[in-house]
Amino acid sequence: MSTVLIRGGHLIDPAAGVDAPRDIVLKDGRVAEVAEPGKTSLGKAKASSDLQIIDAKGLTIAPGLVDIHVHLREPGQGHKETIATGTTAAAAGGFTSVAAMPNTVPTNDSPEITRWMQAPERGASVRVFPIGAATRALKGEVLNDYAALKAAGVVAVTDDGHPILKDSIMREVLINATRSGLSVIQHAEDTRLTGGCSMNAGPMAFRLGLRGMPPEAEYGLVERDIRLVTELSMNGKGDKNGHRPHLHVAHTSTAQAVAAVRQARRNGLRVTCEVAPHHFLLTEEHVGAYDTNAKMNPPLRSAADRDAMIQGILDGVVDAIATDHAPHAAHEKEVEFERAPNGITGLESALGLSLRWLHHEWKLPIGRVLSLLSAQPAALLGLKGRGTLTVGSFADVMVFDPKQEWTFHAKDSRSKSKNTPFDGWTMQGRVHWTISEGRVVYKAEAL
């Protein structure tokens, strides 16, 4: 593997507390040196067969982004996405690590499927961290062997898309995951309240004549889970061995759910949450004339809920921005609204939307935006050596222009699917290079 020298750029590494001009040397898939301009051991060396030089003058260098919530659709649904195409899209968006949800066909509830997803034959451009199913076939009845799944490579467990409704099962999931050192990610939706629903419950659903999902279907389950975590955590102190369960709330969308997470944290519990760009930018009004590219689960909520997501990001309650990248084939979305599947793509637009709105419009410091997209999600799943560019960490790097405006066109997406409500939106912050473990996996075409 050749050596890469990135020079002339400005490094922002929130985890390391660095915000200054720096040159970086990458060697054997790791960060070998970080030094002031011209002061690495390579100095002003010239490019050769063994040395690749990236001129980052005028650009920002940052840790590669980490997305803890993506659907790569393999195995079983390659007509929507493959691990190869999904990770190619991830690289174009500046991501170097993605955590893949287990609701595949078959479900990732065995070490064999976990290893299959990580095999070199899948052609992944960036590192894939599988998340295992919490219960067998996502049915919420029988727990999987978490120790075996972890040994195969899973980094958390979840029944994403299929909430764990039974208190007794969720309690056992939390206990067994804690013993195995795994986080529990909950898709918070009380499906006893959402049968036949296709969007948020509110005036828009009334006007369109659609059944709506009430907010309590989400926050009611979040509050139930927090109650279980409270009991198992001995009110924050942990069990006799000091172990505390970690509950992570996926794709939070309601003001009450964010409030519940905020209170849980004040009580000293290990409860975290993520928010997707579409939930801090869009509302139920974007469903418009039955636009299936605005149909997802949880649904786009009210303006008050959207504002609560923004406030949660600004005040630090939200731990990570995750895309919930959920590709679908065109023929699956081009049907009546109620029949269309839930989900949109998001890997290539997350950075541009976050910088344009969180940083430029709502004045969140760029270091905090990058932390929400790299250091903090890496920490949530215990991805050691990711989300930072300290010496010895993985050579996962994004080089980008934070000021460059560009327009996202769905037709140009590297994803197999084009189901996005952000087609034609102006983005802020263009990725120029993405490097995964020392390999250049994306270079902007105009360079």
Q: Annotated active-site positions, please?
A: 324
Amino acid 95 reads: F
3-state secondary structure of 166: coil
Phi-psi region of 171 (alpha: psi -120 to 50; beta: other; left: phi over 0): alpha
The owner of tokens 């260098």 is 61
d(CA 293, CA 275): 18
d(CA 118, CA 348): 22
Distance, C-alpha 143 to centroid of its chain: 25
Q: What angle do CA 232, 173, 106 make, to 5 degrees?
A: 165
Residue 176 backbone phi and psi in degrees, to 5: -70, -35
Quick one: DSSP state of residue 244?
-
The owner of tokens 């013993």 is 179
Contacts of 363 (CB under 8 A, 6+ apart): none
Helices (runs of H) and strands (runs of E) counted in the chain: 13, 19
Widest Cα–Cα separation across the chain = 67
How many C-beta atoms lie closer than 10 Å to residue 39's C-beta? 11
Residue 431 backbone phi and psi in degrees, to 5: -75, 130
d(CA 60, CA 54): 12
d(CA 193, CA 197): 9
